[in-house]
Every structure is written in C-alpha cells, then in structure tokens.
C-alpha cells in the first residue's frame, strides 16, 4: 500500500476520495499525464455544471471549465492539502467565472447609441433578457450566429480590433501596447470597426 495515500500530513477529516485526489495531484506533479487526465475526467462534469449555473450559456461554461482546469494544473505544485483538492479547484473555477463576468459585462450606452450596443451584445452573446421563452432564445441564437458571420466579412484590421477588445478581453491600453499605437488611434480604429459591423448588421436585418 502506498504510504503517500495515507499520509499523516493530510487532515483527519479527508474522505477516501480526497486522499485519492491528493495522491493523483502528487503523481501529476511528478509528470504523469494519466493523473492529470484522471483529475480532469473526475471533476469536469461538476465544474461544468457549476459554470453553467452561473453563466446560463453552454459554450461559456465549457470554455470556463477548461480555463479553470488550465489554471489549476499550472498551479498544482502550490496546492496545499489544508482543503480537499475538489474545494481548491472549485474556488479557482468560481474566481475565474467572476473575473469572466466582470470582463464581459456589457455596459448600457447612452440613448441614441442603442443599435451599436445591441451589435456588441450580440457579438458577446450577452443580450439581456428576463426569463426568455424557447422562441425568444431561438431568435437570439439566430442573431448571434448572424453576427458571427458578419464579423467574418469585415476587413482583417477591423476583425483584429474587435477580436482583441471583445474576445481577448484586452483593455485599450493593452491594445495600444500590442499594436504600438497611440491610445487615441486605438479607440478611433475600434470605433470604426464597430461602426462597420453595425452597418452590416443593419443592412442584413440582424438588428430589426
């Protein structure tokens, strides 16, 4: 019997499952890919369910689930068994979800700019709705798909600006640093990119 499995350094209240997880963590740290796969297989459904409850979006939940595992696995050597691995993993997943919501929150724009706000909302999959029914959900998904198709029709420069801002979650300052452009130029280019997307959306009826 492996003595690490029943290490006296583990809290007495640890369940057999928690002790198994601890051994898997130690094995993964040593370089065993099978241990990583076992932890992923064991907890991915639970993390996904938690993320879906928070986001109500299956794609976001799937992305956040894999991000949480990526962060956890990169920090695995820092895991200390004061709490079960599952508790530690869930805390990472929740913090990641909170960060995601903060980054992706769509701010309501001033009256008169509603069309562009709606275009951005469709782009980010975050059109607000109060308890939408199946028909409303279908319409919203259709519009989201249409917006994604319109995005691909933009010029490479416009696509890059929108991708950096809304998919890579970069701030204006970070974009300016990567592009080596003045902040004002970045804001102007992003505005033109959003304007181009909005015009295409109006032209095809996506914002009707």
Taking only the tens place, the pLDDT of each residue in 25-39 is: 999 998 888 999 999
Higher local confidence (pLDDT), 86 or 130: 86
- Using a pLDDT cut of 70, give the percent of the chain over it: 68
What does the DSSP assignment read for 5-49?
TT-TTS-TT--HHHHHHHHHHHHHHTT-HHHHHHHHHHHHHHHHH
117: which residues sit within 8 A by CB, 6+ positions away?
Answer: 106, 108, 109
pLDDT recorded at residue 39: 92
Least confident span in 148-157, 178-187, 189-198? 148-157
Residue with the bigger pLDDT between 11 and 72: it is 72
| Higher-pLDDT residue of 128, 190 | 190
Domains and CATH numbers, the chain: 16-104 (1.10.1740.10), 114-204 (1.10.10.10)
Residues 87-144 have pLDDT tens digits of 899 999 988 888 877 766 543 333 334 434 444 554 544 444 444 455 555 555 555 5
Q: In the numeric block, which tokens belong to residue 137?
A: 């959900």
Give the span between the Cα atoms of 127 and 119, in whole angstroms: 9
Tens of pLDDT, residue by residue over 67-84, are 899 989 988 888 888 888
The continuous run of DSSP H or E covering 100 comes out as helix 85-104
pLDDT confidence band for 4 (50 / 70 / 90) = very low
Residue 164 to residue 178: CA distance in whole angstroms? 10
CA distance 91 to 68: 9
Q: Exposed, middle or buried by CB within 10 Å (0-12, 13-18, 19+), for 28? A: buried
């Amino acid at each position: 019997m492996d003595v690490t499995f029943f290490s006296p350094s583990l809290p007495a209240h640890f369940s057999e499952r928690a002790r198994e997880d601890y051994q898997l963590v130690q094995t993964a740290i040593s370089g065993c890919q099978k241990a990583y796969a076992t932890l992923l297989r064991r907890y991915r459904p639970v993390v996904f369910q938690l993320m879906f409850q928070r986001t109500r979006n299956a794609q976001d939940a799937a992305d956040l689930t894999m991000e949480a595992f990526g962060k956890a696995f990169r920090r695995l050597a820092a895991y200390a068994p004061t709490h079960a691995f599952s508790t530690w993993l869930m805390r990472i997943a929740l913090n990641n979800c909170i960060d995601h919501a903060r980054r992706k929150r769509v701010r309501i724009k001033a009256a008169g700019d509603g069309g562009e706000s709606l275009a951005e909302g469709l782009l980010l999959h975050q059109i607000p709705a109060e308890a939408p029914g199946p028909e409303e959900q279908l319409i919203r998904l259709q519009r989201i798909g249409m917006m994604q198709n319109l995005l691909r029709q933009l010029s490479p420069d416009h696509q890059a600006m929108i991708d950096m801002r809304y998919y890579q979650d970069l701030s204006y300052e970070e974009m300016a640093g990567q592009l080596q452009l003045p902040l004002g130029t970045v804001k102007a280019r992003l505005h033109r990119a959003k304007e181009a997307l909005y015009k295409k959306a109006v032209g095809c009826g996506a914002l009707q």
